[in-house]
Structure 1
């Protein structure tokens, strides 16, 4: 029997994945996995189970009344989970918290497979997981990684694609930082606990050109997105602008370059802010944003970088009358991640 993977995204940033069998209703699949999605009647009458389907194919069902789900709501992606039957993998936004649905974050034990420093700016941390435990997440999401012996964790975005047995993270190297200090002595084979996936910054269904804006180690989620696009043989135009402060901060450029051969319509530019740099493109990403990448506003923009970069790009759009079809962004600071989506 066919089954489909359904991502349930809750308001508090928690994502849970459930398998929904052919012909099974999403509400029933969630209950089977001990996730109590909102409901009162389960008969398509009250509308309590109304959610938004962000991607995927499905049957809305026939056993509901217009007061529970109007034609306009259905046209805008709203569904009743007590009636919805998926016919593909789907992403569903649930308008309540994971706690209210009596579920929580998933935990995964992973084994350190490699720790590679890149100049003095970043560390690539890789883990191995068993095939049965390969993490499900949406490209762009993050996990909390427990730092051994500290009782604390740090948040990092996946740089690898979902479902892989070797998972990767690009971590900013911070002198004296909790994770950075531990990584200096980390040994291959050490087991760490990962909690997640989390976050509302993730690649939506691709229906138009994409503009990716990465600041520093904010490159990580875009590597995950690019791998997913390459694996699906996407034909949409994708342009990445990767901005850093110093020449030495440009890391994993070879990996980015490799996608120009694997992804049909992928292009990218690197930008260095430091005036003393000899880089051909100096300044800020807003100074090197080609008009064709904005496609007259018919573009989905994704931005991951420090708060000042996010604010600068928003101001640039406002000052220049640019209104992208959608604009998804994530602000981060070295020791914490501020999740803010639009």
Structure 2
């Protein structure tokens, strides 16, 4: 019997994955997995179980009333989980916390496979997962416990979902907790991770994409590009990768490899430092030609430090740019800021 993977994204950033059998309603599948999604009637009458389907195909049937879900709401992607029967893998945004649904974050273990420094700027951390490969959406992050510190740090996956070896691009910070620990870390060391987390992830690709990466904010886009390459996306995709110094430009060879695999993918690298000899100098917003905005018919994804996020938002407002959708994630050197749209 066919089954579909359903990602339930809760408003506190926690994501849980469940299997939904062919012909099974999402609400029933969640209960079977001991996740209590909001509900009162379970008959399509009250509307309590209303969520938003962000990707995938499904059937809502006609056994619900307009007071529970209007035709306009259904057209916009709202669903009643008590009526929704998936016809593919789906992503569903649940408008409440994971705790309210009697579930929570997942923990898993992984072993260090390789630690690769890139200049004095970044570190690529590769881990081999001990047991089942964790499910996540391209763009999401995990919290990694720093051994013997009682603290954790948040990092986006740079690898694609489904791989036994998972990767992260980590900013190298002088005196940083994780940076210092990784300098002496040995292959085979066990790490504890919590996740996946975050509402910054690749949605259904139905129009051109504009990716804006700041520094190690490149990581989630590498995950997204791998997924897009594997699925043979035919949409136009443009990445603008901005850094402070020349040495901060890392993994450019990886980006070039995606340009070879994705015929409609292009990218620009930008260095802010005035002393740089790089061809494109300045800020990301100074290298955003009109053609990559497609007159607003574009989905924009942005991951970078807070000043970059705010600068792009101001640029859009000041220039009347209104993309079809705008998803962003801010991060500081030590953590992902829990703000995304």
TM range (shorter): over 0.9
Could you tell me which residue of structure 2 aligns to residue 337 of structure 1? 336
**Counterparts of 1:291 and 1:64, CA distance in 2:** 44
CA–CA separation in structure 2 for the residues paired with 1:22 and 1:264 = 35
The C-alpha deviation readout for 1:265-311, integer Å capped at 9, x for no partner, is 00001000111111010000111111110111111111101111111
Query: Is the 8 Å Cα contact of residues 147 and 154 (structure 1) preserved in structure 2?
Result: yes
CA distance in 2, matches of 1:283, 1:134: 40
Q: Which runs of 5+ in 1 are unaligned?
A: none
Identify the residue that residue 55 of structure 2 maps to in structure 1. Answer: 55
Contact 1:109 1:129 in 2 (8 A): yes
Q: Given that residues 155 and 335 in structure 2 are in contact (C-alpha distance below 8 angstroms), is that contact kept between their aligned partners in structure 1?
A: no
> Is residue 208 from structure 1 mapped to residue 213 from structure 2 by the alignment?
no
CA distance in 2, matches of 1:257, 1:99: 42
Q: Tell me the distance in 2 between the aligned counterparts of 1:316 and 1:157.
A: 26
CA contact (8 A) 2:44 2:80 kept: yes
Specify the alignment match of 1:327 in structure 2.
326
In the alignment, what sits opposite 2:70?
Answer: 70
TM-score by length of 2: 0.99
Aligned pairs for 1:69-218 within 5 A? 69-130=69-130, 133-218=132-217
**Cα offset, 1:43, TM superposition:** 1.1
Once the 2 structures are TM-superposed, how far is the Cα of residue 25 of structure 1 from its aligned partner?
0.5
Question: Are the counterparts in 2 of residues 234 and 264 from structure 1 also a CA contact under 8 Å?
Answer: no
Match of 2:298 in 1: 299
Q: How many angstroms apart in 2 are the aligned matches of 1:153 and 1:76?
A: 38
Other-structure match for 1:318: 317
Per-residue CA distance 1:177-236 (angstroms, 9 max, x = gap): 111111011111011111000001111110100000000000000000000000000000
> What residue is the counterpart of 1:246 in the other structure?
245
Q: Runs of 4 or more off by more than 3 Å in structure 1? A: none
CA contact (8 A) 1:142 1:199 kept: yes
C-alpha distance in 2 between matches for 1:101 and 1:262: 41
1:262 equivalenced with 2:252 (yes/no) = no
May I ask how many residue pairs the two structures share in their alignment?
341
Gaps of 5+ in 2: none
